[in-house]
Amino acid sequence: MKLLITGGAGFIGSHIANYYYEKSHEVFVLDNLVSGYRENIPFIDEKHFFEVDVCDTAKVEEIIKTYQFDVVIHLAAVVSVVDTVNDPLMSSEVNINATVNLLEINRLYNAQLRKFIFASSAAVYGNDPQLPKSIHSMIQPESPYAIQKYAGEQYTKLYHHLYGLPTTALRFFNTYGPKQDPNSQYAGVISIIKRKFENNETFTFFGDGEQTRDFMYIKDLIQGLVCVIDNDCTNGEVLNVGTGKQTSLKDIFHAFEASYNKKIEYRFEPERKGDVKHSVSDITELKDIGYNPQYTISRGLEEYLNS
């Protein structure tokens, strides 16, 4: 199987690339290396790596025409909520327009396509108090990022219903694991806590620390992705990828205390505007096709910290 992963040098993309590479599939990565790192994918040789911006339509078209991929996994995006707030026009070019262009190029020029995956986000749900977050829940975007992700997933869905393209959009919940950059302004909270413990720095809770998230270890995300790619019944669908379990930030912090066998200072700051208080996924549809998350928070943290 021949795969193209846009944004494949980033945290999630590099793990997906490694998974399929180790399964002896032919993996290509397209990444402009703005937030990804070439060293994340040392197993990808130069013939299989394109240092190209996903907004460069002409180059993307040439690549698709030339290589005729079986699977396209579209992760490339402006992933910083702050950046989308500061520059909604630029981020819309990347998060919406480039997605539509990629869909259209595959529709016109890629007869081999078996599956097109678009990476969306649980951010589309916003502060809807209903739990768990179901694919039937109300959509309440709180940022340009969330609106752009929602637009991208709806275009992805539409390209199946209008043109028969085998597409699926996946709403990822809070993913963590090795290669997540703790110094990034959009780093996951788990990687930030890890850095604070390693450096004996003070950790800041925004709010009371009782807010909950559906924390998913990267290997569970990959299992969910594989289920979707291997099942044609997911074509045209939008699906949640999470664990279905919620954990508070305080519980995560205490788990780090136990793992490191030490304590660090912490403080509380006011909640940030737009932050979601509680979030957990309803993964019924994914479970129906064989998805079964394996990593509890304790098991995931143990593997993450020992990686």
- Reported as a single tens digit per residue, the pLDDT across 138-161 is 999 988 999 999 999 999 999 999
Question: Same domain, yes or no, for 111 and 189?
Answer: no
Q: Which pLDDT value is given to residue 307?
A: 79
CATH of the domain at 88: 3.40.50.720
Token digits of residue 224: 């969910």
pLDDT range class, residue 188, cuts 50, 70, 90: confident
Question: Same domain, yes or no, for 89 and 124?
Answer: yes
Token digits of residue 264: 């660090």
Question: Same domain, yes or no, for 6 and 141?
Answer: yes
CATH of the domain at 277: 3.90.25.10
Token digits of residue 117: 């995956």
Question: Same domain, yes or no, for 94 and 193?
Answer: no
Mean predicted confidence (pLDDT) in 26-48: 97
Provide the residue type at 248 as one letter.
Answer: S
Q: Which pLDDT value is given to residue 273?
A: 67
The rounded distance, in Å, linking the Cα atoms of 78 and 94 is 7
Question: Same domain, yes or no, for 99 and 209?
Answer: no
How many domains is the chain partitioned into structurally?
2
The rounded distance, in Å, linking the Cα atoms of 96 and 152 is 5
Q: Which residues are catalytic?
A: 145
pLDDT range class, residue 242, cuts 50, 70, 90: very high
Selection from 21-25, 201-205, 249-253, 262-266 with the highest mean pLDDT: 21-25
Question: Same domain, yes or no, for 52 and 168?
Answer: yes
Question: Same domain, yes or no, for 202 and 152?
Answer: no
Residue entry with tokens 């909270």: 189
Output the average pLDDT for the chain. 93
Alpha-carbon Rg of the chain, whole angstroms? 19
Query: Judging by beta carbons within 10 Å of its beta carbon (0-12, 13-18, 19+), is residue 259 exposed, middle or buried?
Result: middle
Strands 212-213 and 247-248: what pairing?
Answer: antiparallel
Question: Same domain, yes or no, for 203 and 226?
Answer: no
Question: Same domain, yes or no, for 154 and 47?
Answer: yes
Question: Same domain, yes or no, for 163 and 259?
Answer: no
With beta carbons less than 8 A apart as the criterion, state whether 276 and 127 touch. yes
β-partners of residue 72 are 4, 116
Mean predicted confidence (pLDDT) in 250-257: 92
With beta carbons less than 8 A apart as the criterion, state whether 178 and 209 touch. no
Q: Which of 279, 241, 22, 237 is nearest to 126 (CA)?
A: 279
With beta carbons less than 8 A apart as the criterion, state whether 24 and 48 touch. no
Residue 277 lies in domain: 176-214+244-305
The helix/strand/coil state of 142 is coil
Token digits of residue 106: 């595959």
The pTM (predicted TM-score) of the whole model is 0.94
Mean predicted confidence (pLDDT) in 92-110: 97
Question: Same domain, yes or no, for 108 and 257?
Answer: no
Question: Same domain, yes or no, for 75 and 121?
Answer: yes
